[in-house]
Amino acid sequence: MYTVTFEDKENSPLKTEKLGATILETALKHEYPLYHLCGGNAKCTTCRVFITEGLDKLSSRNEREQTLADRKGWPSEIRLACQTEVFGNVSLRRIIKDNKDLRTVTSESKSSKTGEECYSVILFLDIKGFTAFTEGSLPYDVVFVLNRFFQEMSEPILNNGGGIDKFIGDGILAFFQMGNKKEAIKNEENLKKAKQETIRSAIRACLRMFDQLKKFNLEMKDRFNFTFDIRIGLHAGNVIYGDIGHSEYKSQTVLGDTVNVASRLEALNKKTNTNFLVSDEIYNLIGPSLSVNKKVITKLRGKSEKMTAYSVLGFKDLDSILMIQKSLDHVLENNPNWIQCYLDKLSSFVKENLNKNMIETEELLNPNEFSALIESIIEKLGNPESLKKEIIKLKSIYESFGITKKELPKLVPILISTMRENLPSEWNVTLESIWNQVITDLTIETIEV
């Protein structure tokens, strides 16, 4: 005889004699009120319960429950009463007790996160002096500029595997969730490596934002005679992800002390006259890779202990992705029409090797779009998922030139020589070997997709 104890004061433990009876079966047998809108078919999730004791006395999640739990990021304690069999004494709580709870749950979308904790890097960005711009500008221009700004600043975040939590006034709250979670929890070494990789992606995104800002400012100076500056705060730690809000207005939100610290570091930049402050958590994990110009010991608002913040200038060690991205920026500055050089070389290649004429196909291709695609591929090197989509587009362009998979490796030296010719002042052995490595890797991926 086992007991299933719901932690409601008015209910005594429910007894079950049937080994392997589900929690829902046991509840219904005792007429205990437990929502089960889909009739126990693992479809509605309204029967979900939180196990407070005896998790090891329950059956493991079956495939249907596991799929739901993965999608919603449930911790192991949240179980579907209709799918969970009981093999010992357990204590639990209902999650949905009344119609108000029910409305909250039934408003969840399929991919809603109902609460997941994960190590993440949190980024807070704010525009310095945006109020001065709003005061002297037309409302239309304010909205236009802010949207352009958010577009430019969000790209490096997304291109490096981050996500945008929300835009707050003239600021951005973004996150970088630790990847390789399953591998990371295997041992300390893996965990440290996974944290370092996540931090590196976040810092690369920030450095790229400063690069984007320079380009953005050239345009803003020209159009509005105004330039902007940004302040960034970066901290890492455990945060909670969940869909928060009214049942009809929910958005995924990231919560926790890590978020508050990142926000306070962003604000601290004002006092320390810096632009990019990272926390000691970040510095302790990848400090030797960073070039810093200031160390600030401070007590953040709402904190009892002092913490050290570091003003970051860049990477001290070599970051091949960032180097490639910056060198392509310089190619574009030197020769905005560089793509024509590449197309000319491709055309000769097609003629010599495939005995075809590329001119006709070339006429169908907009060189600016081709250039934008290559730029986009280079920008997305830090985000394998979105990179893949761009590689598929590139492959189909080459195919339209008549270039098959077999010939793709022969294009590597053609692209490299185009870069070299358009970047004579800073081209060197290191840069050439990085371009070579990256383009060779991309070619292998292009062949495989």
Among the listed residues 33, 25, 31, the one whose alpha carbon sits nearest the alpha carbon of residue 81: 25
- Residue 354 binds to ligand FES (criterion: CB under 6 A): no
Q: What end-to-end distance do the CA atoms of the chain give, in Å?
A: 57
- Other beta carbons within 10 Å of 114: 20
Kindly report the backbone phi and psi dihedral angles of residue 239, in degrees, each rounded to the nearest multiple of 5, phi listed first. Answer: -135, 160
For the CB of residue 82, give the shortest distance to ligand FES in the complex, in Å: 3
Pairing of strands 90-94, 48-53: antiparallel
For the CB of residue 36, give the shortest distance to ligand FES in the complex, in Å: 4
For the CB of residue 45, give the shortest distance to ligand FES in the complex, in Å: 5
Helix ranges (H only) for 93-243 are: 99-106, 130-135, 139-159, 181-184, 188-224
Please, how many CA atoms are within 13 Å of residue 285, restricted to the half-sphere of its CB? 22
Task: State the DSSP string of 64-110.
Answer: HHHHHHHHHT--TTEEETTT-BB-S-EEEEES--SHHHHHHHHT--T
Q: Which of these segments, 35-43, 92-100, 252-260, 396-404, binds ligand FES (CB under 6 A)?
A: 35-43
- Residue 45 binds to ligand FES (criterion: CB under 6 A): yes
Name which of 46 and 269 has its Cβ closer to ligand FES: 46
- Residue 21 binds to ligand FES (criterion: CB under 6 A): no
Q: Which of these segments, 39-47, 152-160, 179-187, 410-418, binds ligand FES (CB under 6 A)?
A: 39-47
Name which of 45 and 198 has its Cβ closer to ligand FES: 45
Q: For residues 105 and 122, what is the distance between their CA atoms, to the nearest angstrom? A: 27
Helix then strand then coil, % of the chain, to nearest 5: 50, 20, 25
Among the listed residues 49, 20, 18, 52, the one whose alpha carbon sits nearest the alpha carbon of residue 35: 49
Task: State the DSSP string of 334-371.
Answer: H-TTHHHHHHHHHHHHHHHHH----HHHHHHS-HHHHH
- Residue 108 binds to ligand FES (criterion: CB under 6 A): no
Q: Which of these segments, 44-52, 162-170, 205-213, 279-287, binds ligand FES (CB under 6 A)?
A: 44-52
- Residue 95 binds to ligand FES (criterion: CB under 6 A): no
Amino acid at 258: T
In the set 13, 40, 367, 402, which binds ligand FES (CB under 6 A)? Answer: 40
- Residue 46 binds to ligand FES (criterion: CB under 6 A): yes
- Residue 42 binds to ligand FES (criterion: CB under 6 A): yes
Which residues from 261-320 bind ligand FES, rule CB under 6 A? Answer: none
Which residues from 152-191 bind ligand FES, rule CB under 6 A? Answer: none
Which residues from 210-249 bind ligand FES, rule CB under 6 A? Answer: none
Q: Which of these segments, 45-53, 87-95, 163-171, 425-433, binds ligand FES (CB under 6 A)?
A: 45-53
For the CB of residue 105, give the shortest distance to ligand FES in the complex, in Å: 11
Residue nearest ligand FES by beta-carbon distance: 82
| C-alpha to C-alpha distances, 135 to 59, 130, 189, 225, 434, nearest whole angstrom | 63, 9, 52, 14, 46
In the set 15, 43, 186, 393, which binds ligand FES (CB under 6 A)? Answer: 43
What the block records as the tokens of 313 is 């200038």
Name which of 84 and 198 has its Cβ closer to ligand FES: 84
Orientation angle between helical segments 412-422 and 429-448, nearest 10 degrees: 140
- Residue 37 binds to ligand FES (criterion: CB under 6 A): yes
Name which of 40 and 409 has its Cβ closer to ligand FES: 40
- Counting every residue written for the chain, the total comes to 449
Measured in whole angstroms, the distance separating CA 437 from the mean position of its chain's CA atoms is 25
- Residue 13 binds to ligand FES (criterion: CB under 6 A): no
Across the strands, what pairs with 277?
A: 233, 311
Q: Which of these segments, 32-40, 122-130, 142-150, 168-176, binds ligand FES (CB under 6 A)?
A: 32-40
Number of residues that bind ligand FES (CB under 6 A): 13
Name which of 40 and 179 has its Cβ closer to ligand FES: 40
- Residue 64 binds to ligand FES (criterion: CB under 6 A): no
- Residue 114 binds to ligand FES (criterion: CB under 6 A): no
Burial (CB count <10 Å: 0-12, 13-18, 19+), residue 184? buried
- Residue 49 binds to ligand FES (criterion: CB under 6 A): no
Name which of 82 and 261 has its Cβ closer to ligand FES: 82
**Which residues would be at the binding site for ligand FES (CB under 6 A)?**
36-38, 40-47, 80, 82
